Structure 1
Amino acid sequence: MGLLEKYTTSTAFLEALQEAGVDYLFSNFGSDHPAMIEALASAEREGKEFPKVITCPHEMVALSAAHGYAQVTGRPQAVIVHVECGTQNLGAAIHNAWKGRVPVLVFAGTSPFTQEGELLGSRNEFIHWIQDVPDQRGIVRGYMKYDNEIRTGTNVKQMVHRALQIAQSGPKGPVYLVGAREVMEEETPQVTIDTSLWKPVEPSAIAPKNIAPFIEDLKQAEHPLVVTSYIGRNKQSVRELVRFCEKMAIPLLESVPNYMNFPSDNPLHMGYQWNTPRQNDLLAQADFILAIDSDVPWIPFKNKPADDAVIYYIDEDPLKEGMPLWYIPSRRFFKADAETALMQLNEVLETAEIDETKIEKRRKKITEIHLEQKKLQKEAEKFPEDALTSEYVLACIRDVVDEDTIVTNELISSYQASYTHLNMTKPGSIIGSGAGGLGWNGGAAIGAKLADPSKTIINLAGDGCYMFSVPSTVYWLARRYDAPILTVIFNNRGWKSPKLSTLGVHPDGIANETDRFFIDFTPHADLSKVAEAAGGAYARKVDNPEEMKATLQEALKAVKSGRSAVLDVYLPAIKQEQ
């Protein structure tokens, strides 16, 4: 293997990403990246290994793909975008990575800072003046754990490894680096650093003095409850959570989940809640609540614990400093990693004196509630005679999900139905964005497939989320990089969520009276054909309940043969719903 012809800041930057375990550069190159493109081409010719470039025609898809990849592997990837324009085109994906606590490094060039040829990379295109803005980093600063500017090649590796160290330390999140053309073109001595000195911060634990009061309050409780949302982002945390709940027969409620947090077939599983407009009986009855890894354990406007409930809160970010309005009435707030904290608690519980009679009585009662929930679930899944229902479609999908399936889920108004009827039991088997930037689903599905090509990826999206996902880019990427996915569109021909929001505030308002919500997608687009045109996908519209299972099997067969598939499933249209 020969040496590279030229060693630049860009060369060192790419080396640092390779050293850090970055596999992919989800890239949308522009006029700020000649040095990086040159370094990549030179490395390819010389046989030097750098992260693989994934050319992404849209930045939203690029960051969503990096997001999904990190969720499956736990490893951050890099996203390369074009100055401030590409930065802004990342759009809602920035919000998703920040709120979803996903590690990713975003790099953007900046306009050159010389204009008369003083340095290599000086301005030579009119756009360099147009794209020169006062504070490019400020565009995303409110959504990043860290942002900085690369000013020289001599310490670029330290900059990259520090950024990734911050991205991977809890709470995890995105980081943003910029560099001008002249800096990225700069020739520099070869940079070597000891990467073992840049590891993420070790997980934090509960202060030992606080464990005994917690255990004592738990032992005194008659109706304890655990509430979680995203503990499943760490698969080992799920194991410790199950161990904790089973030891004390504590029921588990998932609030706004975006992972598989607790096996749905465990008798202690008490279902899911989102924007629940009524009081959850278990939440109201609870005299002890452990809220762990949950930004929104309940919505107090209509659904909250009793005033005298003893609440403990465990999270890597217990103060929610990025949420200006946030508070819950917790007796103690512990800044701790969920797995570490539960291991501490489980160790103490192993030798604690426990009233086994009380625990077994509670276990029996909770099991009865669990079985009743399953009975109601089954009834909702019955074969629909006239029009497809979300519950039936989800039951059909559940039947084709196996141990080697990952579901990416962005169903929004059908979130609760999706978790209830998919019945996921394996950690890592279902993921959501963890946030509210719609359009995550397609890119995330591509990222998940690249992360583990052995998995079958089933992507669930509403028709609005599907359009937000930039499907022309998603399915082009799927074909270009051999990452076939199966997408099922739950198509009600409009945005149901704004209608539900309006009815939640104005149930007897004029919008309801006149059925004017301004959210219907008329005329209806043939959504699956977008994927067929852009990526050669198997495309089918399904509106007959009798065809659902067979068509789903056909689509899955296409995916397993290496071709993406999109099923445009027609549910009752929004305007028909009351």
Structure 2
Amino acid sequence: MYTTGTAFLEALKEAGVSYIFANLGSDHPSIIESLAIAKQENRELPKVIICPHEFVALSAAHGYAQATGELQAVIVHVECGTQNMGGAIHNAYKSRVPVLVFAGASPFTQEGELTGSRNEFIHWIQDVFDQRGIMRGYSKYDNEIRTGTNVKQLVHRALQIAKSDPAGPVYLMGPREAMEQETERITVQKELWEPIAPAALPPKQIEQLAEDLLSAKKPLIVTSYLGRKKEAVEELIRLCERLAIPVIESVPHQMNFPADNPMHCGSYWNDPKQNELLAEADFVLVLDSDVPWIPTKNKPSENITVYYIDIDPLKEDMPLWYIPSKCFFKADALTALQQINASLDAKKIDQKTVSARRDEITAFHERLKEQRRKLEQAGEDVTTPEYLTACVRELMDEDTIILNEGITNYGAISNHIEATVPGSYFGSGAGSLGWNGGAAIGMKLAYPEKTVISLTGDGSYLFSVPSTVHWMAKRYETPFLTVIYNNQGWCAPKHSTLGVYPNGVANAYQDFYVHFDPPADLAGVAASAGEAHPITVKERSKLKEALAEGLKQVKEGRSAVIDVYIPHVYSDGEVNAEKTAKETMQ
């Protein structure tokens, strides 16, 4: 028997999908039967990864696509499973990660008129008017499979849209009768459904950009996710070394520029201070960045020349967004950089000016590095986020992948981890917490030979559904190391409140309703669910030994979770550690 469900699975395989991250339900008999028949007949289909929670399923597909650029599929149960993906679909959409999500739907017949007609109580309860509407604000495309005669075309069209810039998730749904329908096998030519070609800069305006760049005395480049294409990193290095242009990463969720390059001048997160280089710049080239600066805290001068190049320069899905810019370009950063570098090949460059700027920026880079080292040694009686990150950095090699979901410690991690290899560092790129666990599984599936280290806050760790994550890591042999920056609470709401009410009542009473006291046994959760090796570290002197043990366990094939206590969200230790660090820098 050849059904719509069979054709759907075949279409995924034909399109190059390797994994289906699945949370199956009563709407998926055709999928389950087709998988069983394929197994019996030794026919290859995408491998199914059972995911006890939909948020983790989509986070794993997200992580796989980030690491490889290759789209994977997620299958969930009707509108309930769709809603359970919640924050994960926000993450995939906002960070422009391609993924195909398929959900079944309640049967639309109830008297046995068609194969798959209603036969369970839940089929009435899960029938809703607009299931696709749940996803419409967070997907590039949605459609309903109504027949098996064109299901392959629908799948390939959805994948084409998902993979075309700006990439993102797509959503297909199919009621049970449609998926159970017997149909004829058809063949679709995959090469006719490729994503659209990368966009380039208009030739006439390349010359103007190059001239403005060459005439600038203090040029600057700001980026956030240019590193999604490794070749773009190479082109950026070429440009920056040729003209001695400093690079700042704003909330980086890729390795965009090697930290050991003299032109790398750090990153910022929600820093409540003006960045020196941004304030002094007379020209800024923004490449792939949604939020290159936060105007209430940190912004360029009013007389600056800004060029903005991005795969999504209008941010049409952000109701409030604007950055005054001389030119906005909807272009692929790799293609644009290749064009700019080619244009500069034919131009005369003032080497004296470039040489002087190189010396100045190199000195700035070295000062930043010295400041980071001082921060890492500050607070000898506590484990600061900077020291913890420095200790993790010592474990890294060229085959390490770092995940950063440290939230209030995001900046400390992105600055102190000092990533240098394209594809070695990732953040979620969005705002719904918990991405770290599923993403680590997806990245480990993509690169089994690499060491995956997830750096997460205790809040983000809890949001990741660690019981599901570590059960999956054990079952599918994807061991990774989790390091928890445990301040026993949500520090972000506290910081936000103080940002608006620095002298308010909440500050006076020091009660922000965000602490996790008494603390949970976070490492123990992973041990119980997936036999991960649990370690809790409360003393700075025991940190390096714990990290070494955790890494050893991972390399031997067992996940490890190291719960590291840093200054409490409510304690004076947090404030004192920051004060000590600043005094050390001075």
Deviation of residue 302 (structure 1)?
2.2
1:525 paired residue number: 520
The separation in 2 between residues aligned to 1:505 and 1:261, in whole angstroms, is 32
Contact kept in structure 2, 1:383 and 1:545, CA below 8 Å: no
2:275 paired residue number: 280
1:3 paired residue number: none
After superposition, what is the alpha-carbon deviation per residue over 1:532-569, rounded to whole angstroms, capped at 9, x for unaligned?
00000100100111111111111111111110000000
SS in 2 for 1:65: helix
SS in 2 for 1:170: coil
The separation in 1 between residues aligned to 2:560 and 2:333, in whole angstroms, is 37
The separation in 1 between residues aligned to 2:190 and 2:368, in whole angstroms, is 51
The separation in 1 between residues aligned to 2:265 and 2:552, in whole angstroms, is 35
Which segments of structure 1 move beyond 2 Å, counting only runs of 4 or more? none
After superposition, what is the alpha-carbon deviation per residue over 1:171-228, rounded to whole angstroms, capped at 9, x for unaligned?
1000000000000000001111111100010100001011111111111110000000
Q: State which of 389, 392, 402 in structure 1 corresponds to 2:384.
A: 389
1:553 paired residue number: 548
The reply on whether 1:566 has 2:564 as its aligned counterpart is no
1:342 paired residue number: 337
1:417 paired residue number: 412
The separation in 1 between residues aligned to 2:213 and 2:455, in whole angstroms, is 39
Deviation of residue 276 (structure 1)?
1.9
The separation in 2 between residues aligned to 1:306 and 1:160, in whole angstroms, is 48
The reply on whether 1:78 has 2:73 as its aligned counterpart is yes
The separation in 1 between residues aligned to 2:210 and 2:381, in whole angstroms, is 53
- Matched AA of 1:519: V
SS in 2 for 1:348: helix
1:43 paired residue number: 38
Deviation of residue 275 (structure 1)?
1.1
2:226 paired residue number: 231
The reply on whether 1:315 has 2:333 as its aligned counterpart is no
Contact kept in structure 2, 1:251 and 1:270, CA below 8 Å: yes
- Matched AA of 2:265: M
The separation in 1 between residues aligned to 2:567 and 2:15, in whole angstroms, is 49
2:501 paired residue number: 506
Contact kept in structure 2, 1:229 and 1:255, CA below 8 Å: yes
The separation in 2 between residues aligned to 1:418 and 1:351, in whole angstroms, is 40
1:110 paired residue number: 105
The separation in 2 between residues aligned to 1:409 and 1:251, in whole angstroms, is 23
Structure 1, gaps ≥5 residues long:
1-5
Contact kept in structure 1, 2:235 and 2:337, CA below 8 Å: yes
The separation in 1 between residues aligned to 2:299 and 2:519, in whole angstroms, is 40
What percent identity do the matched residue pairs reach? 63
Contact kept in structure 2, 1:384 and 1:545, CA below 8 Å: no
**Residues 465-484 of structure 1 aligned to structure 2 (within 5 Å):** 465-484=460-479
1:126 paired residue number: 121
What TM-score results when the alignment is normalised by the length of structure 2? 0.97
Greater mean alpha carbon deviation, residues 459-468 or residues 374-383: 374-383
The reply on whether 1:245 has 2:214 as its aligned counterpart is no
The reply on whether 1:458 has 2:453 as its aligned counterpart is yes
- Matched AA of 2:237: V
The reply on whether 1:301 has 2:296 as its aligned counterpart is yes
Contact kept in structure 2, 1:460 and 1:490, CA below 8 Å: yes
Deviation of residue 443 (structure 1)?
0.2
Contact kept in structure 2, 1:312 and 1:332, CA below 8 Å: yes
2:488 paired residue number: 493
How many pairs were matched up?
A: 573
The separation in 2 between residues aligned to 1:518 and 1:238, in whole angstroms, is 42
Contact kept in structure 1, 2:404 and 2:414, CA below 8 Å: no
Q: State which of 202, 206, 214 in structure 1 corresponds to 2:209.
A: 214
SS in 1 for 2:83: helix
The separation in 2 between residues aligned to 1:575 and 1:280, in whole angstroms, is 28
2:177 paired residue number: 182
1:368 paired residue number: 363
The separation in 2 between residues aligned to 1:73 and 1:42, in whole angstroms, is 30
The reply on whether 1:358 has 2:344 as its aligned counterpart is no
- Matched AA of 2:531: G
Deviation of residue 384 (structure 1)?
4.6
Greater mean alpha carbon deviation, residues 378-387 or residues 404-413: 378-387
SS in 2 for 1:49: coil
Change (3 A) 1:272 1:535: same
The separation in 2 between residues aligned to 1:534 and 1:389, in whole angstroms, is 29
Contact kept in structure 2, 1:256 and 1:273, CA below 8 Å: yes
- Matched AA of 1:159: L
RMSD: 0.7
Deviation of residue 298 (structure 1)?
0.4
